[in-house]
Amino acid sequence: MSIGRPLEYDPTKALDAAMQVFWRRGYEGTSLQDLLTATGLSKSSFYQAFSSKHEAFQQALTHYCDGLTARLREKLRAADSGWEFIESVLMSAVGEARIPDDPRGCMIVNVATEFSSRDARISELVADGVKRVTRIFVTAVKRAQKEGRIAAGKDPNLLGRYLLSSLSGLRTMVKAGSTHGATAALVTVIMTALKS
């Protein structure tokens, strides 16, 4: 039995690096060489760590969802109200999506667009990611209902999904050239549907 030699890489750093490149280039657009360059791993270490490009992609997508939901949960926890959380997420998406050098958008949306329903395992991960993000919006809606900003009789699950759908639409409008003022006006309309 050989004495365990120290790991040649930091697994979390390697996963994060793989995520960054998949996020930027998509699955098909990412070559094995891109992954090796990004992670700094040799071919054999990469396959030892991730088994395959497909497996690395699945781990990277899950890692992305973990980070996104952790940030959103923290933001909701720190927010003054559920209503302000909702407004702030919609508005920050407007700002983020305008960074011209960062056309990555939301990785879950990108993956859903690249794969559509052609890969059952990936579809499952996408649906799971959507569920996890939706759950945070649902929590925010329930909080806004308690605060009296959204009528108690409304279905928080439906409104949570509506917010996610609206957020995705907003991002696309920004990518398509919508100005900050025009997009902010859209946020107001989107939030109207929550109240009435």
Residue 176 interacting with its own copies (CB under 8 A) = yes
Residue 79 interacting with its own copies (CB under 8 A) = no
Q: Which residues from 145-174 bind its own copies, rule CB under 8 A?
A: 158-159, 161-162, 164-170, 172-173
Residue 30 interacting with its own copies (CB under 8 A) = no
Residue 103 interacting with its own copies (CB under 8 A) = yes
Q: Which residues 6+ apart lie within 8 Å of 116 measured at CB? A: none
Q: Which of 14, 94, 130, 150 binds its own copies (CB under 8 A)?
A: 130
Q: 105 φ, ψ to 5°?
A: 60, -155
Q: How far is Cα 181 from Cα 93, in angstroms, rounded to an integer?
A: 13
Residue 20 interacting with its own copies (CB under 8 A) = no
Residue 70 interacting with its own copies (CB under 8 A) = no
**In this chain, which stretch among 11-19, 58-66, 121-129, 140-148 interacts with its own copies, using CB under 8 A?**
121-129
Shortest Å, Cβ 90 to its own copies: 11
Shortest Å, Cβ 131 to its own copies: 9
Shortest Å, Cβ 129 to its own copies: 8
Residue 105 interacting with its own copies (CB under 8 A) = yes
DSSP the chain: -PPPPPPSS-HHHHHHHHHHHHHHHTTTT--HHHHHHHHT--HHHHHHHHSSHHHHHHHHHHHHHHHHHHHHHHHHHHSS-HHHHHHHHHHHHHHHTT-TT-TT--HHHHHHHHHTTS-HHHHHHHHHHHHHHHHHHHHHHHHHHHTTSS-TTS-HHHHHHHHHHHHHHHHHHHHTT--HHHHHHHHHHHHHHHH-
- What type of residue sits at position 120? A
Residue 180 interacting with its own copies (CB under 8 A) = no
Shortest Å, Cβ 188 to its own copies: 8
Residues that bind its own copies (CB under 8 A): 28-29, 100, 103, 105, 108-110, 112-113, 115-118, 123, 126-127, 130, 158-159, 161-162, 164-170, 172-173, 175-178, 182, 185-186, 189-190, 192-193, 195-196
